Amino acid sequence: MKYINSVITGTGSYIPSVRVTNKEFARHIFFNKDESAIETLVEEVILKFKDITGIEERRWATDNQCASHIAAIAAEEAIKSAGIDRETIDQIIVAHNFGDVKSDTIQTDGVPSLASRVKHLLNIKNTSCIPYDILFGCPGWIQGVIQADSYIKSGLAKRCLVIGTETLSRVIDKHDRDCMIFADGAGATIVEAVESEEKFGIISSAMMSHAGPEVDYLYMGKSYHPDADPKVRYIKMDGRKIYEYSLNNVPAAMKIAMDKSGVPAEELKKIIIHQANEKMDEAIVVRFIRQCKLSKTSAELMPMSIKELGNSSVATIPTLYDLILSNKVENHKIYKGDIIMFASVGAGMNINAIVYKQ
């Protein structure tokens, strides 16, 4: 029996050059949501932040870069890694949340689409190469891969470029302590049809969405500074509600994907989870381990990059995957034939997961 598999044949990432350590936030004046000043010493706020999130530093784009620019750099690496002719790409799928945001502005720019801009920057002439964007919160890159898989399995596409890119540093409120979470970056993958007598690549997927009260757990709002212009809006989050929501729902979606795959859960080698918050991610994976009765620990299964790179939203998973394949993540490797899982949660609130055979 012949299978048409959707396989990641190339990866690439772009990690911005500007390193911002936690110490650099010591100059900030933080306020609460009610605009009252946070009386705790900033140094104590920063230490508590590190204990909760695991983040010690993050990367921000340079002033002359936008999300589409760094997306194109990551895409070039993925194309080179796959060894393909860029003119054979059928679709360019770009996941993001805020479009291009120029330095020192707060206005997002999504016209034309970032995917169209990436196609232009890659100098792809093929008029049958269709570029479009996905807005799905932090799970956007996984959703793009799921969409590419659907097109490939239906015979409507043979090769897709799927990118996650974001410059969250441009939409943060520097008077909100949550601003320390967010980072910039881009990750890209080539997903293509590979015919084989064995099943590998994307084995199964699962998606979940709750858009009741959960819809506003991540939102845009005014700065917490009392004198800020209320018409200028920044990314905001209800961290406690996101944490509780994620623990209650993400492990279940992961288990659904695992069960649909038909692969025994014990064969799972790695979980590449969205780098949102170290403690939250660990709690999600521990709960998934318990649900599946696995003998492995979260440390064995879950590589992390958040300590150095922060939370770059849609870019965290493809970037981490590329770093592992490039042997740049200590104590974690992925080998041919390994069963791995991609999983994410984010604004919407949306959740998705993929079971993948390397």
Q: Dump pLDDT digits (tens) for 8-44.
A: 999 999 999 999 999 999 888 999 999 999 988 888 9
What was the pLDDT predicted at 275? Answer: 97
Burial label, 28 (beta-carbon count in 10 A; 0-12, 13-18, 19+) = middle
Residue range 225-255, pLDDT digits in tens: 999 999 999 999 999 999 999 999 999 999 9
How crowded is residue 2: how many other Cβ atoms within 10 Å of its Cβ?
8
Tell me the mean pLDDT in the region 335-340: 97
Count Cα atoms within 13 angstroms, Cβ side, for 114.
31
Q: What pLDDT was estimated at residue 154?
A: 96
pLDDT tens per residue, range 91-149: 999 999 999 999 988 889 999 999 999 999 999 999 999 999 999 999 999 999 999 99
CA distance readout (Å), 147 to 157, 210, 218, 302, 327: 11, 20, 24, 25, 28
Is the pLDDT score of 175 beyond 90?
yes
Q: How far is CA 343 from CA 7, 73, 85, 154, 256, in A?
A: 17, 24, 30, 24, 12
pTM: 0.96
The helix (H) or strand (E) run that includes residue 101 is none
Domains 3-196 and 201-357 in one fold? yes
pLDDT band at 269 (very low <50, low <70, confident <90, very high): very high
Band of residue 166 on the pLDDT scale cut at 50, 70, 90 = very high
Report domain extents, the chain: 3-196, 201-357
Domain 201-357: homologous superfamily in CATH = Thiolase/Chalcone synthase (3.40.47.10)
**Which amino acid, one-letter code, is at 181?**
I
CA 341-343-349 angle, 5° bins: 160
pLDDT at 242: 97
Contacts of range 324-328, beta carbons closer than 8 Å, 24 or more positions apart:
324/270, 324/272, 325/11
Amino acid letter for position 291: Q
Residue 317: pLDDT above 90?
yes
In this prediction, residue 307 carries a pLDDT of 96
Structure confidence at residue 1 (pLDDT): 78
128-137 confidence digits (pLDDT tens): 999 999 999 9
Q: Which CATH architecture has domain 3-196?
A: 3-Layer(aba) Sandwich (3.40)
| Residue 43 tokens, joined | 């140094």
User: Cβ of 51: how many Cβ atoms within 10 Å?
Assistant: 10
Q: Which helix (H) or strand (E) holds 254?
A: helix 239-261
